[in-house]
Amino acid sequence: MAENAADVSERVQDGPEVRTRGGALRGSLKDGVVAFLGVPYAQAPVGALRFRAPEPAVPWAGVREAMAFGPTAPKRPYSPPLDALLPDPDVEGDDCLNLNVWAPWGPSGPAVPEDGNAEDRGGRPVMVWIHGGSLIHGSSAVPVYDGTAFARDGVVLVSVNYRLGVEGFGVFPDAPANLGLRDQIAALAWVRENAAAFGGDPERVTVFGESAGAISISALLASPLAKGLFRRAVVQSGAPIAQPLATARRTTEAVAARLKVPATAEAFARVDRERLLAAQTAVTGKGSPLSGGHSFQIVVDGEVLPRDPAEALADGASAEVDLLMGTTTEEYRLWFVPSGVTDRVGPWVQRLLLRKAKVPSRTARVYRAGRPQEKPGEVLGALATDKLLRIPLNALADARLRAGASAGTYLYEFGWRSPVLDLGACHALELGFVFDTLDLPETQALTGPEAPQELATAMHAAWVAFAATGEPGWRPWDPARPVMTFGPGLPSLVEAPREAERRAWEV
């Protein structure tokens, strides 16, 4: 495939250059941090490559300009009111399988430390960010994910785009499954091949992600195709989960029915992208993890993912990978509060939804008793947060402890409460703290303008330390159940938080 002439230039311009396996790149430099944006790691998934596994990017001649974010995967914006809280830029173009690199940069190129420990002399730690968005939204171009602070603090930061929705996670009889996950693996392979060119150590890669990105990482931890591509992992607000092929295929079939075409990749490839996105949005618009409905999910396909990731990880998969994982305290409030669910749900509706979600009545009674001042919708949200996230992550930490995993396991909880729309410690709130981007208006849409910088400094430093050493700064998981809590107030280590509620799930 020929490169777009606008992307490749022989012109002499200011800006640092680096040579990758695919060719030379020209980036932009500011305050000792270089950024190379929109770098292709695979060919554009169009034409004969649509609904196919990613193919390596075609090498280019000359110097490729890498100063602007590349195209984002086909998607629709978040629906109101979330669109005002979660920025989701849309960059047009077909070459959506691209990534961005931020790195420390000296006068003569990559700033690799000459002193320090032996690991540092092998190159900088590398962190690879996989964005969230329910597998239908998001991209690496979201301003909150700017990698400058990580590079400032000695990390080579890579952020990745991957295929979304039916093009990334549709299930067809005539196409590979988990295409979006295959894209992520291809990007990680690119990082392994090219990290050293940016001053990074390919043996010291940490993959991290939030929400659907964290669910993806749980699958990568269980995938034989990703083995050896990373040494550490951070799972933020996402638990190991995947669906059987037959179950996941129902969403693809529902989209096909709306389009009035066969549920095959061949038929979908002939459908206009805008029409496909409209049908996808209509089918998935009313689904939720608690009430069910159509959604796109990672699937157990026998190749990328031979087993359910929760079972594989509990049985010792990736026991050699250092693991940092956690949640926000009130994940549910991002969905329940702006939509009014917390106010609309009464006791009867709460019981109906809990029964539908198969939450044991004994478990619900413990939460109600421990939260007498909370509305039925808030108690429902606390139960949903724990059922979907906190309990599975605690169970995984326990399984690694029982199995004597050779690598460390660390848990955190983010508890600072946003004043915006009474969102509290909601889903995605920790992102601006992890990336140390609190000053950006896109971050402040969720945090407000008065978020505590000292908390961002501490949380960001813990992620950097974990990538560099495998230790974020507190003791690993043990029978006392230590959880580092980031707010409210200063970070503090809490043993077995809300233990009565956690134990209530052991029925």
Amino acid in position 15: G
Measured between alpha carbons, how far is 336 from 342 in angstroms, rounded to an integer? 6
Q: What is the pLDDT of residue 209?
A: 98
Closest CA to 344 of 374, 376, 385, 383: 376
Q: Which amino acid is at 264?
A: T
What's the confidence (pLDDT) of residue 8?
A: 41
Give the three-class secondary structure for 180: helix
Q: How far apart are CA 228 and CA 188, in angstroms?
A: 10
Mapping DSSP to helix (H, G, I), strand (E, B) and coil, where does residue 421 land?
helix
Q: Is 382 exposed, middle or buried (0-12, 13-18, 19+ CB in 10 A)?
A: buried
Neighbours of 235 (CB within 10 A): 27
pLDDT of residue 120: 63
**Per-residue pLDDT at 113:** 66
**Per-residue confidence of the chain (507 residues) as pLDDT tens digits?**
334 434 443 333 578 999 999 999 999 999 999 999 999 999 999 999 999 999 999 999 999 999 999 999 999 999 999 999 999 999 999 999 999 999 999 887 787 666 555 466 679 999 999 999 999 999 999 999 999 999 999 999 999 999 999 999 999 999 999 999 999 999 999 999 999 999 999 999 999 999 999 999 999 999 999 999 999 999 999 999 999 999 999 999 999 999 999 999 999 999 999 999 999 999 998 765 555 689 999 999 999 999 999 999 999 999 999 999 999 999 999 999 999 999 999 999 999 999 999 999 999 999 999 999 999 999 999 999 999 999 999 999 999 999 998 899 999 999 999 999 999 999 999 999 999 999 999 999 999 999 999 999 999 999 999 999 999 999 999 999 999 999 999 999 999 999 999 999 997
Residue type, 231: R
Q: How far apart are CA 363 and CA 342, in angstroms?
A: 20
pLDDT for the residue numbered 285 = 86
User: 103 has which bridge partners?
Assistant: 34
Listed by start position, the domains of the chain span 5-47+68-239+299-338+386-503
Which residues belong to the active site? 211, 331, 427
Name the residue among 274, 114, 107, 103 with its Cα closest to residue 194.
103
- pLDDT in the model for residue 385: 97
Alpha-carbon distance of 259 to 506, in angstroms, equals: 44
Between the CA of residue 210 and those of 167, 322, 325, 352, what are the distances in Å? 21, 17, 10, 30
Q: In the CATH hierarchy, which fold is given to the domain comprising 5-47+68-239+299-338+386-503? A: Rossmann fold (3.40.50)
Among left, alpha and beta (phi > 0; psi -120 to 50; other), residue 318 is: left
